[in-house]
């Protein structure tokens, strides 16, 4: 993870770096820092903790008559604890080199040992510092650019990096396996891990590729550091995709994004339906098997997709953790379709899984971010229209992924002749009607406050559901642990008696998802089992009967969705709200929970 941002030019550099770092904070917010060249000297400033970038950048000089080169970084700790020594930029022994890095250097321990034997003194626990010392060592024998080129080929792992060196009025950088974009405006150059941190200044963007090494002075030069030959790549104008990231009247991004779901869902589903004819053409054959890969909430969305698709299409569907799939040497069959799901489009393990499947299966990605790496590696993409998701815990992106999976289910059903095109109109109506019902759930907030009051002092919670609501239970538990730090587990309701039931006592809240479907009576039996052991039952239900009334300690009575596949869109909302409200009552930062980052670009 980590975000890196560089600027070479004149003008309001403090604002550019401060705003840019804020825009990159979703990649990590443990610490941040920057380096610039002044009178040929490398100056470094860094801090730990969230926020405070405006004060931090106040020491960067702003020139109107000459160019300044600045590199900056926001960190998500991988090697070494959160402290100033481990914050980027990292330096060499003589403080002549400053370097920022995103990625992981896998052979850093061996390189560090070799460099220590040559007399290098290290001051951090990071893998990154080794790069600065390696550059220093090679530069003893050759010009700096050549030293960087040679060193890059010694690094195993992934990197997007920027480096400044005393006496050189340029930023040198490189990428392998971690995203990096360049932007230009006149003679000003921007370089960043995420376009969104620079699109306020320019829409002329260049997508750097693995193996690119570049130098930015008055011009930008690019070299393939593996083939050691120069590369021609140009800037192109991208559609101004700047979407508002203002919090408006909301108290947090998480709250705003939960409330944006009705609009995000309709926008996602309608935009996909508008392009139905195009998708009917590009998804040219019906797959024999579908493998869905993703991580975290995206993996949960995949499980919901599995229930939908196996039921309607009768095509076998496997849902895999991307991190396991990529290294398992998976078996591919001739008619396989691999569906990757990723909000960010940059998750390292999902990208790795997609690369593993490339050339062996057709690849379709479901993604929320245009121009990101995962759709770039896929044959087709279904974009969700959730808009920028800033809160670290996924909410609107998750439900938008379910909308895209529902669309894919219908698309394949049409292709297979299981439904007729005219019935799509009805499906669109059903979808909008369900999305509207989310607003009714928002009106139940005062009741949920009372339940959150009960939850806030608990140490553990269980979330149980059956069928398509089992993955919803997993998602509810993940939301609770991410933002409130209460230990929560999701289970298939029937599985509880095979172990977790040992945990049930009066201190264990159990959230049941019990909807009107073929499992209703079975879920009621599972609720009775918890009740018999003194557990406190919170029921999310789209129907009320005597059993629900008698067994539950608390009931969140949600509206009924228009069809069974759309029910998860409603059952997950109270779980998001319970996690949100409980976290607030425990004084947790719901937007930037501890230890997390929004975009996980390390495996």
Q: How far is the CB of 227 from ligand F6R (least distance, A)?
A: 31
Dihedral, 555, 559, 561, 565 alpha carbons, nearest 10: -20
Q: How far is the CB of 152 from ligand F6R (least distance, A)?
A: 27
Q: Is 598 a catalytic residue?
A: yes
Are 209 and 175 spatial neighbours (Cβ–Cβ below 8 Å)?
yes
Q: Which of 362, 479, 592, 598 is catalytic?
A: 598
Q: How far is the CB of 349 from ligand F6R (least distance, A)?
A: 8
Per-residue binding letters, 288-327, with ligand F6R (x by CB under 6 A): -------xxxx-----------------------------
Q: How far is the CB of 272 from ligand F6R (least distance, A)?
A: 18
Neighbours of 596 (CB within 10 A): 17
Q: Which of 197, 323, 343, 399 binds ligand F6R (CB under 6 A)?
A: 343
Are 304 and 472 spatial neighbours (Cβ–Cβ below 8 Å)?
yes
Q: How far is the CB of 400 from ligand F6R (least distance, A)?
A: 11
Q: Closest CB to ligand F6R among 111 and 602? A: 602
C-alpha distances out from residue 568 to 72, 145, 403, 562, Å: 41, 54, 10, 11
Asked if 53 is part of the footprint of ligand F6R (rule: CB under 6 A), the reply reads no
Q: Closest CB to ligand F6R among 155 and 600? A: 600
Distance CA(491)–CA(502), nearest Å, equals 14
Distance CA(148)–CA(581), nearest Å, equals 50
Q: Is 542 exposed, middle or buried (0-12, 13-18, 19+ CB in 10 A)?
A: buried
DSSP output for 28-96: --SEEEEEEEETTEEEEEEEESSS-HHHHGGGS---SSS-EEEEEEEE--SSS-SSGGGSSPEE-TTS-
Q: Closest CB to ligand F6R among 180 and 474? A: 474
C-alpha distances out from residue 371 to 213, 239, 444, Å: 20, 11, 38
Q: How far is the CB of 206 from ligand F6R (least distance, A)?
A: 23
The 3-state secondary structure of 2-17 reads CEEEEEEECCCHHHHH
Q: How far is CA 432 from the centre of its chain?
A: 26
Q: How far is CA 40 from the centre of its chain?
A: 38
C-alpha distances out from residue 237 to 11, 182, 199, 346, 403, Å: 22, 12, 11, 22, 30
Q: Closest CB to ligand F6R among 203 and 346? A: 346
Q: How far is the CB of 393 from ligand F6R (least distance, A)?
A: 4
Q: Closest CB to ligand F6R among 171 and 303? A: 303
Are 363 and 340 spatial neighbours (Cβ–Cβ below 8 Å)?
yes
**Using CB under 6 A, which of the segments 219-227, 339-347, 494-502, 559-567 binds ligand F6R?**
339-347
Q: Closest CB to ligand F6R among 330 and 345? A: 345
Asked if 347 is part of the footprint of ligand F6R (rule: CB under 6 A), the reply reads yes
**Using CB under 6 A, which of the segments 26-34, 325-333, 344-352, 543-551 binds ligand F6R?**
344-352
Q: How far is the CB of 383 from ligand F6R (least distance, A)?
A: 13
Q: What are phi and psi of 300, to 5 degrees?
A: -60, -40
Nearest residue relative to ligand F6R (C-beta)? 296
- Strand ordering across the sheet containing 380-383: 317-321, 289-294, 336-342, 362-367, 380-383
Asked if 350 is part of the footprint of ligand F6R (rule: CB under 6 A), the reply reads yes
Q: Which of 2, 32, 367, 588 is catalytic?
A: 2
Per-residue binding letters, 247-276, with ligand F6R (x by CB under 6 A): ------------------------------
**Using CB under 6 A, which of the segments 96-104, 139-147, 341-349, 581-589 binds ligand F6R?**
341-349
Distance CA(54)–CA(133), nearest Å, equals 30
Rounded to 10°, the helix 567-585/445-455 angle is 60
Q: Which of 164, 386, 390, 478 binds ligand F6R (CB under 6 A)?
A: 478
Residue closest to 556 by CA, chosen among 541, 578, 535 = 541
**Using CB under 6 A, which of the segments 7-15, 323-331, 340-348, 547-555 binds ligand F6R?**
340-348
C-alpha distances out from residue 528 to 64, 339, 462, 525, 563, Å: 73, 39, 15, 5, 27
Per-residue binding letters, 479-498, with ligand F6R (x by CB under 6 A): ---x----------------
Q: How far is the CB of 488 from ligand F6R (least distance, A)?
A: 13
Size of the site for ligand F6R (CB under 6 A): 14
Q: Closest CB to ligand F6R among 78 and 347? A: 347
3 state DSSP class of 215: strand
Distance CA(524)–CA(539), nearest Å, equals 10
Q: How far is the CB of 205 from ligand F6R (least distance, A)?
A: 21
Distance CA(329)–CA(266), nearest Å, equals 38
Q: Which of 53, 178, 255, 344 binds ligand F6R (CB under 6 A)?
A: 344
Q: Is 592 a catalytic residue?
A: no
Per-residue binding letters, 371-410, with ligand F6R (x by CB under 6 A): ----------------------xx----------------
Distance CA(340)–CA(109), nearest Å, equals 33
Which residues are near ligand F6R by CB under 6 A? 295-298, 342-344, 347, 350, 393-394, 478, 482, 600
Residues labelled as active-site residues: 2, 598
């Amino acid at each position: 993870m980590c975000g890196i941002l560089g600027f070479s030019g004149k003008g309001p550099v403090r604002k550019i770096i401060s705003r840019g770092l804020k825009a990159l904070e979703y990649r990590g917010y443990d610490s941040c820092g920057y380096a610039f060249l002044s009178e040929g000297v490398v100056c470094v400033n860094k801090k730990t903790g969230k926020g405070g970038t405006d004060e931090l950048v106040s020491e960067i000089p702003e020139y109107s008559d000459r160019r300044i080169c600045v590199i900056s970084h926001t960190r998500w700790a991988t090697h070494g604890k959160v402290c100033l020594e481990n914050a980027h930029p990292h330096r060499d022994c003589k403080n002549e080199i400053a370097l920022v890095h995103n990625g992981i250097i896998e052979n850093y321990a061996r390189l560090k040992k070799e460099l220590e034997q040559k007399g290098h003194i290290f001051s951090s626990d990071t893998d990154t510092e080794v790069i600065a010392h390696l550059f220093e060592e090679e530069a003893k024998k050759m010009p700096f650019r050549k030293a960087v080129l040679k060193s890059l080929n010694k690094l195993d792992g992934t990197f997007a990096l920027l480096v400044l060196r005393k006496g050189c009025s340029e930023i040198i950088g490189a990428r392998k396996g971690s995203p990096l974009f360049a932007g230009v405006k006149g003679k000003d150059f921007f370089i960043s891990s995420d376009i969104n941190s620079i699109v306020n200044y320019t829409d002329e963007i260049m997508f750097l590729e693995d193996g690119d090494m570049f130098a930015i002075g008055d011009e930008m030069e690019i070299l393939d550091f593996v083939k050691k030959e120069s590369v021609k790549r140009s800037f192109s104008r991208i559609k101004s995709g700047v979407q508002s990231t203002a919090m408006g009247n909301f108290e947090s991004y998480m709250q705003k994004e939960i409330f944006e779901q009705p609009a995000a869902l309709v926008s996602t589903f309608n935009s996909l339906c508008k392009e139905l004819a195009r998708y009917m053409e590009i998804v040219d054959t019906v797959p024999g098997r579908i493998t869905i890969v993703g991580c975290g909430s995206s993996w949960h969305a995949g499980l919901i997709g599995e229930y939908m698709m196996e039921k309607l299409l009768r095509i076998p569907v496997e849902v895999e953790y991307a991190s396991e799939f990529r290294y398992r040497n998976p078996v591919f069959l001739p008619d396989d379709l691999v569906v990757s799901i990723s909000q960010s489009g940059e998750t390292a393990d999902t990208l790795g899984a997609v690369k593993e499947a490339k050339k062996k299966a057709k690849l379709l990605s479901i993604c929320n971010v245009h121009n990101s790496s995962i759709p770039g590696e896929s044959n087709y993409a279904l974009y969700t229209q959730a808009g920028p998701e800033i809160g670290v815990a996924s909410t609107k992106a998750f439900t938008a992924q379910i909308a895209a999976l529902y669309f894919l289910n219908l698309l394949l059903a049409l292709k297979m002749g299981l439904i007729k095109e005219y019935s799509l109109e009805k499906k669109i109506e059903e979808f909008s009607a369900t999305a509207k019902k989310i607003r009714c759930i928002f009106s139940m907030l005062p009741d949920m406050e009372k339940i959150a009051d009960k939850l806030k002092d608990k140490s553990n919670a269980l979330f149980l559901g059956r069928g398509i609501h089992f993955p919803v239970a997993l998602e509810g538990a993940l939301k609770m642990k991410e933002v409130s730090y209460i230990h929560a587990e999701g289970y298939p309701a029937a599985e509880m008696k095979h172990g977790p039931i040992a945990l049930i006592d009066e201190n264990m809240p159990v959230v049941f998802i019990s909807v009107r479907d073929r499992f209703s009576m079975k879920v009621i039996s599972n609720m009775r089992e918890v009740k018999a052991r003194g557990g406190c039952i919170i029921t999310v239900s789209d129907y009320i009967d005597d059993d629900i009334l008698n067994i539950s300690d608390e009931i969140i009575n949600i509206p009924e969705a228009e069809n069974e596949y759309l029910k998860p869109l409603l059952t997950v909302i109270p779980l998001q709200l319970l996690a949100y409200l409980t976290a607030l009552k425990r004084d947790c930062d719901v937007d930037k929970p501890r230890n997390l980052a929004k975009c996980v670009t390390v495996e």
